[in-house]
């Protein structure tokens, strides 16, 4: 990540501070209309707003009605379920040829919650993905999670987008940022320069004026189709990270207070702001000597931070270092990420996004499809057997405001983003023959459909 990426509003004043970020955008489930996705409504013009609790309930009910509950062995959790990519393609073709919807077990990848292994099965011209799985269920907000652990359920649509975006991502990174307009930044700066607080006066009285001055912020996406669910997860997780940091949404996780709580009694610089972003977090990929078995290890996501310096004309440059309090908050988010992902499922969805992107990049970089002898034309979009849902592209979001007072004044800050650099993950490899034994056990099952358990 370059030091100039992912800045939304790096600006500080000693008079009053406002943290301006965005309205919630939660990941879609592919069954509602193009305007309604998960916890939000999106206008045809791409303007995003929160859905009310009633709207969320209605959307979740529509989604439940459109999908089938897990059946048979899919109702039981397992620490290792295998998924056949050749089998998934066959299921997609079957649905396409019959003119029927794709079954829910295919949409939700047989209940996988993580991908831990990738196996080449040349004898059957196949690639096998494996990991823990459990029955899926809908939360009240429409999120789809495991009924046992509460972890986000993986989606085939995300894997397909990842497979189709590897070459694009090679040219431009998969990323998301939410940025103010130049006019909005200038308007806010002018207004803040005029504000004067009386002793004990709450700056929240200026919230409406500051929101109006700041105006909507623009959503910038790269590396994946902007109308995809994948893109919405990037935006939603960026938004919710800021919400948690700025005490606009509780984390509900012990050990992860807001950044505002941490910064309240610390000295704040008049010219610097922290910036956070989420990135891939994996250990070295483990492979067998014959490179037919691969293992992914690690949490998948980490939070990073760096200081932004604001110049007199409002421009932003990197300080090349991090603020101690901001670093402490970033570390706390990384350390508590697993629990946070259960409390706020979009972070689990981001974890899934990281997994499928690493897997898609691994398959492409190591030419695993050629080694397996599998034709992945359907999954890669070279045939018409599956059409992904196209959503209204999120373009702008209205600002929200929060306040924090340090020992040197009120701070204005809102910056961050998401970066998915799977190429860097795939380049880090080591050999361990134990993964070959795991592959042998997984492929030893002969009576199998497109999925099976160890």
- Residue pLDDT, tens place only, 362-405: 999 999 999 999 999 999 999 999 889 888 888 888 776 665 55
Q: Using 50, 70 and 90 to split pLDDT, how confident is the model at 64?
A: confident
Instruction: Classify residue 261 as exposed, middle or buried by CB count within 10 Å of its CB (0-12, 13-18, 19+).
Output: exposed
Over the stretch 303-323, which tens digit does the pLDDT of each residue have? 999 865 554 454 555 656 677
**pTM summary value:** 0.88
Burial 134-167 (b: 16+ CB within 10 A, else e): bbbbbeebbbbbbbeebbbbbbbbbbbbbbbbbe
The predicted pLDDT at position 266 comes to 65
- Whether the per-residue pLDDT at 82 is higher than 80: the answer is yes
User: Mean per-residue pLDDT for 204-231?
Assistant: 86
- Whether the per-residue pLDDT at 427 is higher than 90: the answer is yes
The predicted pLDDT at position 223 comes to 97
Containing 351, the helix (H) or strand (E) segment is helix 346-365
Over the stretch 119-161, which tens digit does the pLDDT of each residue have? 999 999 999 999 999 999 998 888 899 999 999 999 999 999 9
- Adjacent-strand bridge partners of 131: 81
Tokens, residue 435:
């993964």
Burial 62-71 (b: 16+ CB within 10 A, else e): bbbeebeebe
């Amino acid at each position: 990540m370059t030091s100039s990426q992912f800045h939304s509003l790096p600006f500080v004043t000693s008079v009053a501070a406002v943290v301006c970020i965005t309205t919630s955008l939660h990941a879609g489930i592919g069954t509602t209309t193009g305007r309604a996705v998960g916890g939000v409504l999106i206008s045809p013009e791409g303007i995003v707003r929160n859905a009310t609790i009633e709207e969320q309930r209605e959307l979740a009910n529509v989604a439940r009605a459109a999908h089938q509950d897990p059946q048979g062995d899919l109702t039981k959790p397992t620490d290792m379920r295998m998924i056949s990519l050749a089998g998934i393609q066959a299921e997609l073709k079957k649905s396409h040829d019959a003119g029927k919807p794709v079954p829910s077990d295919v949409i939700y990848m047989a209940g996988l919650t993580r991908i831990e292994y990738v196996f080449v099965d040349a004898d059957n011209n196949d690639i096998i993905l494996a990991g823990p799985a459990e029955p899926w269920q809908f939360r009240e907000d429409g999120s789809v999670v495991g009924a046992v652990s509460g972890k986000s359920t993986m989606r085939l649509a995300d894997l397909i987008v990842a497979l189709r975006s590897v070459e694009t991502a090679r040219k431009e990174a998969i990323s998301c940022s939410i940025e103010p307009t130049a006019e909005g930044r200038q308007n806010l700066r002018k207004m803040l320069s005029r504000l004067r607080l009386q002793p004990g006066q709450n700056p929240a009285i200026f919230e409406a004026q500051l929101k109006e001055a700041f105006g909507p912020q623009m959503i910038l996406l790269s590396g994946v189709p902007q109308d995809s669910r994948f893109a919405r997860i990037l935006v939603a997780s960026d938004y919710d990270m800021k919400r948690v940091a700025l005490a606009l949404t509780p984390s509900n996780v012990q050990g992860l207070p807001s950044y505002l709580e941490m910064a309240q009694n610390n000295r704040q610089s008049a010219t610097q702001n922290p910036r956070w972003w989420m990135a891939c977090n994996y250990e070295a990929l483990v492979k067998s000597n014959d490179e037919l078995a691969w293992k992914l290890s690690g949490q998948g996501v980490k939070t990073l931070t760096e200081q932004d310096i604001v110049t007199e004309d409002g421009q932003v440059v990197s300080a090349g270092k991090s603020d101690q309090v901001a670093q402490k908050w970033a570390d706390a988010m990384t350390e508590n990420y697993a629990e946070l992902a259960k409390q706020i499922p979009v972070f689990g969805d981001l974890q899934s996004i990281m997994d499928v992107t690493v897997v898609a990049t691994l398959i492409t970089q190591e030419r695993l499809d050629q080694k397996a002898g599998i034709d992945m034309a359907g999954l890669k979009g070279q045939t018409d057997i599956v059409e992904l849902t196209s959503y209204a592209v999120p373009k702008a979001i209205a600002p929200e405001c929060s306040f924090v007072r340090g020992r040197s004044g009120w701070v204005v800050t809102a910056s961050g983003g998401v970066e998915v650099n799977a190429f860097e993950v795939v380049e880090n490899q080591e050999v361990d023959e134990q993964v070959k034994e795991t592959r042998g056990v997984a492929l030893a099952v002969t009576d199998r459909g497109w999925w099976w358990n160890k």
